[in-house]
Structure 1
Amino acid sequence: MAGGKQTPRQKMINLMYLVFIAMLALNMSKEVLSAFGLMNEKLEASNVDATTRNEAFLSGLAEKAKENEKQYGQLKQNADQVKALADDLNGYLASLKAEMLKGVENPKDYEVMDKGDFLDNKFFTGDKVSKDGEAFLAKIAAFRDGVAKIVPNVATSVKAKFATTPVKNRDGVPVDWLNYHYQGFPMVASLTKLTQLQADVKTTESEVLAQMLQGNLASQVSMTNYQAIVVLDKNAYFQGENVTGKVVLGRYDENIKPTSFNGPGKIENGQAVINMTAGAVGEQTIAGQFTFMENGENVPLKFAGKYVVVPRPNSATISADKMNSVYRGVENPMTISFAGVSDNNVTVSAPGLRKGSKPGQYMWNVTGLSGTSAMVNVTAKLPDGKTVSDKKPFNIREIPRPAPTLRGMSGSGKGNKNDLASSTVKVEFPDFVFDVQTTVQSFELYVPGNAAIVVSGDRFSDAAKKAIAKATRGDVITIMNIKTKLVGAPGYNMRGSSSFSWEVQ
């Protein structure tokens, strides 16, 4: 009633409409909130791992400082100072996050964390930064400047990573760092940013410690921290076959020579070369001991490893990557191998089967095969020159019947007729293990009160749109007899899809 006097009721309706529009504009997508929450969980888990690594790093450094105070003493002091700075900032951020979540009943319910009141009130007073906001910036500056002072050669990178200078927004206008990152954001977004800041602290601590050691700590740790590894030429052996391989340290160096070795082999260039006959079928153990000289004393280093002796193979391993059936119209990935036999000594044959790019990988196209089953034949050449063969049948199945979809709805939907007229008719394959692509060739449209219309392609023709325009509220428009073609398999005839019903509202 433009231009006329509005009744109180009309004014109330207009006001409610404005409030509703405002609520829609402010309503943060629940999916986005959940995404922030999941990201925060991953960062939290990563931070726990980083803490463990840093603590192990410092523990190793502490041991070395005890052994050689002159070489590692000052380095240990600097590392402790960096850790103290990192712990101080990380602890402050942890307490800030705990305070932020104090009023949240379920800290995993991210969809309710859509308000930004907490940090807005804590960090800002009006359009100015509050005392708490200044304290937050001061904590970051203390960590940044402290680390830069202790380790000058990383000062540039640390200052850049923890800079709190103004940031230009999308319009190129400088905005205070605190406002740009923390004002007006949903709680879950700010929570994730604080966790990311903790991750930056952990990462910086790791990088700084590694920089101080200049990459040499790993090569200077005690021999007792090395891991002896049994490296066999292969893990499974035929009965009576020679077991070949070597036992090496975790960090191989031909200049590191043991004073003695007790085990099944002999020392060559800092490694024990093994050559023995495999035992009975089953799991077998290789064990022994190196002895090294360190600080005038013999340091023993034991090793142990296992290998498996298996009977000579007489059957192949044949499996379909998707399931124990193969489908017409698609490329079926197959993994085919023979236990204990390398891929270059395995021959596979089946109609329509071709070898893939990786060992043991094959692609099988059964579109042109008749019947309901097909056979895969495998022949393997054993190390002793003998050959063994095996075969396995597979069921051949058709691609499931497609289901029609419109505007993201499957099988049926409802809405106004204009939305329907502008829609694209598509099909999907619910729960099918392959990601197949199809094109809609044609379909039939039935509008109550009108004759059925055959439409070519996947979009409604002008005639179809005119028929849809005549529909009234409550009419059910049916799309049926949808004909499709499978992309990449022009010779394959797809099954007809089910119908789609659209209720006009």
Structure 2
Amino acid sequence: MKRLVLFLSLVFLLQSCKSSYSKTELLKENKALKERIKKLETADTVNQEAAIELKKMNVVYRGVINPVYISKPNAVSFEATAPGLRKIDSLGNYNLSPGTGRAVDITIKSKLKNGDSLTETKTLRIKDISAPIGTINGIGCGSKCELKLKKEDLTDAVINAEMKNFLHDLGIAVISFKIKMPHYRVIKISGNKMNVRANDLFTLLQPDDSVIIFDIKIRLSGNSRYKLKGVAPIIIKIIE
């Protein structure tokens, strides 16, 4: 493109040097040249593909409202449709709530500046959200491993739930949980912090005793339509 524009400019320069051209003719030639360059530049970019940007993610997740930005360069207008896709504003912002399957197709129909119509399909992968894991004082590894803690570590401990390797901030808050210890009935605690009764029983624990914190109930600060699997329990082995 740059070489073509340079060539056309050189042609105009040579023509402008001819003494037989009047000022009016030169102006007309200049205007015609600019119009030709503009048409060439438009033709070079008019067929750029539609672009989809996933905010904070490389895939979309099932059970979550995924923010999606869609744009179509050089389009006068465009329309995007897909199962679970909802338009938020006229700036290209959408929300996508995927359904079943491994992928979702977004169809983008656009009207280009040159009057042509174009239909494109963009395919996005769908992933399921893994279960949150329970944490005690910020430490957790899921139900497939065992934390080794001193009994003093359990006193006034704070229980939370986290999503590992997940970029959405769902605002997860623990509202209750249960504790199972050797020789004692299951204790249910409201909130996310150990109470006085639990702290007293922790003093009786012995090395190699197992403590399981399970049935961790959570609340999400965001949209209630989020669907998460049950929180993985915290399995603890007492040391020292």
The CA deviation at 1:315 is 4.7
Residue of structure 1 aligned with 2:184, choices 450, 453, 469: 450
Q: Residue 348 of structure 1 corresponds to which residue in structure 2?
A: 80
Q: Residue 109 of structure 1 corresponds to which residue in structure 2?
A: none
Q: Residue 408 of structure 1 corresponds to which residue in structure 2?
A: 138
8 Å CA contact 1:318, 1:337 repeated in 2: yes
Q: Residue 485 of structure 1 corresponds to which residue in structure 2?
A: 219
Higher fraction of helix: 1
The CA deviation at 1:422 is 0.5
TM-score, normalising length from structure 2? Answer: 0.68
Q: How many percent of aligned residue pairs carry the same amino acid? A: 24
SS in structure 1 of the partner of residue 79 of structure 2: strand
Counterpart-to-counterpart distance in 1, 2:87 and 2:57: 18
Q: Render the CA deviation track for 1:139-190: whole Å, top value 9, x for unaligned.
A: xxxxxxxxxxxxxxxxxxxxxxxxxxxxxxxxxxxxxxxxxxxxxxxxxxxx
**Residue 370 (structure 1) aligned with residue 99 (structure 2):** yes
8 Å CA contact 1:331, 1:365 repeated in 2: yes
TM-score, normalising length from structure 1? Answer: 0.35
Counterpart-to-counterpart distance in 2, 1:493 and 1:334: 19
Q: Residue 91 of structure 1 corresponds to which residue in structure 2?
A: none
SS in structure 2 of the partner of residue 410 of structure 1: coil
Relative contact order (alpha carbons < 8 A, sep ≥ 6): 1 or 2 greater? Answer: 2
What is the letter of the counterpart of residue 355 of structure 1? I
**Residue 384 (structure 1) aligned with residue 131 (structure 2):** no
The CA deviation at 1:403 is 1.9
8 Å CA contact 1:329, 1:489 repeated in 2: no
Q: Render the CA deviation track for 1:88-138: whole Å, top value 9, x for unaligned.
A: xxxxxxxxxxxxxxxxxxxxxxxxxxxxxxxxxxxxxxxxxxxxxxxxxxx
Q: Residue 173 of structure 2 corresponds to which residue in structure 1?
A: 439
The CA deviation at 1:438 is 0.5
SS in structure 2 of the partner of residue 275 of structure 1: helix
Output aligned runs, 1:469-484, within 5 Å.
469-484=203-218
Counterpart-to-counterpart distance in 2, 1:433 and 1:474: 36
Q: Render the CA deviation track for 1:41-82: whole Å, top value 9, x for unaligned.
A: xxxxxxxxxxxxxxxxxxxxxxxxxxxxxxxxxxxxxxxxxx
Q: Residue 332 of structure 1 corresponds to which residue in structure 2?
A: 66
The CA deviation at 1:356 is 5.0
Output aligned runs, 1:19-168, within 5 Å.
none
**Residue 399 (structure 1) aligned with residue 132 (structure 2):** no
- Structure 1 runs not aligned, ≥5 long: 1-235, 237-263, 267-273, 282-306
SS in structure 2 of the partner of residue 455 of structure 1: strand
Counterpart-to-counterpart distance in 1, 2:220 and 2:75: 38
8 Å CA contact 1:425, 1:459 repeated in 2: yes
SS in structure 1 of the partner of residue 202 of structure 2: helix
Q: Render the CA deviation track for 1:226-276: whole Å, top value 9, x for unaligned.
A: xxxxxxxxxx9xxxxxxxxxxxxxxxxxxxxxxxxxxx958xxxxxxx823
Counterpart-to-counterpart distance in 1, 2:180 and 2:133: 18
8 Å CA contact 2:68, 2:96 repeated in 1: no
Structure 1 residues 501 and 318 mapped into 2: Cα distance closer, same or farther (>3 Å)? same
What is the letter of the counterpart of residue 99 of structure 2? S
Structure 1 residues 323 and 308 mapped into 2: Cα distance closer, same or farther (>3 Å)? farther
SS in structure 1 of the partner of residue 215 of structure 2: strand
Q: Residue 500 of structure 1 corresponds to which residue in structure 2?
A: 234
The CA deviation at 1:494 is 1.7
Counterpart-to-counterpart distance in 1, 2:219 and 2:126: 20
Counterpart-to-counterpart distance in 1, 2:155 and 2:227: 28
Counterpart-to-counterpart distance in 2, 1:275 and 1:471: 86
**Residue 276 (structure 1) aligned with residue 35 (structure 2):** yes
What is the letter of the counterpart of residue 406 of structure 1? I
What is the letter of the counterpart of residue 346 of structure 1? F
Counterpart-to-counterpart distance in 2, 1:434 and 1:354: 20
Counterpart-to-counterpart distance in 1, 2:109 and 2:132: 39
